[in-house]
Amino acid sequence: MTKNATYSYWLTLPLLFLLAIYFIPPANAATSDSDWPKYHRLDNGWRYSPLADINKANVDKLKVAWIHQPGDIQHGLQATPIVLDGVIYYVAANNNVYAVDGETLWHYQPELDPIVTRVFYQAASRGVTVGHGMVYLGTLDGRFIALNQKTGKPVWKRKITDLKSCYGCLFSSPPQLAGEVLYGGTTGGDQPQRGKIYAVNALNGQPLWEFDTISDDPESWPGDTGNVGGGGAWMPGVYDEKTDLIHIGTSNAAPDFFGEVRKGDNKYTASLLAIEAKTGKLKWFFQEVPHDVWDYDSAYEIVTIEHENRDVIFHLNKGGFVYVLDKKTGKPINIWPLSQTYNWVESVNPKTGELIGRNEPKLGEEKVLCPYLLGARSWNHGAYSPKTGLWYTNAMEVCNKIIAAEQNPEKIGISGLYLGVSLLEAVAPPNQKASARLDARDPITGEVRWSVNYPIPGLGSVLATAGGLVFNGDVFGKVFAYDAANGDELWSFNTGSGIRSGIISYGKNGKQYLLVPSGFGSHAPGFMASAFPEVSGLPGGAALIAFSIDK
């Protein structure tokens, strides 16, 4: 190579690098109605499809279009698929990632640290994120991985946590994008860890910031209790591009039911956070359950709607109350109960959030506390329709029978839980049966518009569509279509295994599809079994099933 050629070669390399970065597709490109580009479809958290070709008049003509089976059925399918330009990206058991269009386009199987076979949160993953020409995965062994969107080949890998020293510090949900920031929180609020939210550069995986969900304030966490105080943020947050803020909910304090060892309000557990995406600095927070001694995470979906000419958030806490907050300040606008049988408090002040009449566990004393540790609903998400103005969500009435007990965190193994109990059993509410339902509610007031009863709680996420439909699945494997206005059942189909995932809709070549990940799993059935014995022994599975209507 000549001197001039060498000079030209080294001059060109930086230019090629800049061009490559410049032409990486943006994370927040204009969204087609046919796509499902993010975990909740959009960062408003609605889980609403604007497609209306499948509607109340023809939904009874839905038929199976194709089925994709990943093979590994451990813990079923818990993912919400992502769809861009007709290509579906999803994750199955043990972090196996697929790109499919009815057939497999590529498959990526990460080589996981053998330690994942020993952790409590085995096998399961709730999805992937797609942006910047990459597919992002949070792994069971504490890594963020970026894959080439076209080929599935790794672009970069970043080790975030060390499970050997931080039990539960893994990623069961997909990290999310806030522009060129990729962020996600650790699972494991029920374990002796110090939970955190991590952010890296989405283009190259370089660390940007960490947010500690355990405050350094000794009045909030006396002594070194915060080092084993749980926390984390195990469900996906949402990003507000207008303000460059990440909104994300945090999990419970540990030990869950024995708070004597961590006297204080235990910030920032059981809280909703607004974090600056570029810096990781806290803009505002609202702690829904100060000094949580009931396992009432604030990790569930965060939904934004306009109310009285301002943006408001509504958000379900595991304690069974829905918090309606001003999105700009985090101040309460209203708080209403989804749970019909709660007894952990007498009430919650709807304008301040003050917990009135706390009913706390007592050392060595048997108590029945409602709702139970899965909440008035598990982590599966509701859906909001702008056409009806209603929020559609599964709900259940179940309680815990508990005896609070001391527990030495140093004697808990990697798969052990730091619950602070000697007895924990799901039971029916006092003087009535355990029950379940699908509700349609006004998200601001909580007013019930209609309700459908279920024999066992639905554990899949709800979908609302512009076709005037609401889709929901049950633990037996049936998928239902309801009239969004009145709850009338219009269609059903038995997929063969229970629904524990995100039902979505997308379009391709002018045709609308309903996409149902079928496959029963997770730890929820085990926690539920004493209250709903029929849940034991239901068949497992893993199948991505697409439905359409022949024109």
pLDDT tier, 525 (very low <50, low <70, confident <90, very high otherwise): confident
What integer pLDDT is reported at residue 27 of this predicted model?
A: 52
Contact predicate 418/409, CB 8 Å: yes
- In 119-243 the beta strands, taken as DSSP E runs, fall at 129-131, 134-138, 143-148, 154-159, 176-178, 181-185, 196-201, 207-212, 238-240
Give per-residue pLDDT as tens, 81-135.
999 999 999 999 999 999 999 999 999 999 999 999 888 887 789 999 999 999 9
pTM of the model: 0.94
Q: For the chain, what's the residue count? A: 551
Average confidence score pLDDT of the chain = 93
pLDDT tier, 30 (very low <50, low <70, confident <90, very high otherwise): low
Beta bridge partners of 38: none
**DSSP string for residues in 52-105:** -SS-TTTGGG-EEEEEE--S--TT---PBPEEETTEEEEEEGGGEEEEESSSEE
The dihedral sign for the CA sequence 29, 35, 39, 45: positive
What integer pLDDT is reported at residue 39 of this predicted model?
A: 98
Tokens of 49: 């499809």
Tokens of 506: 């997308």
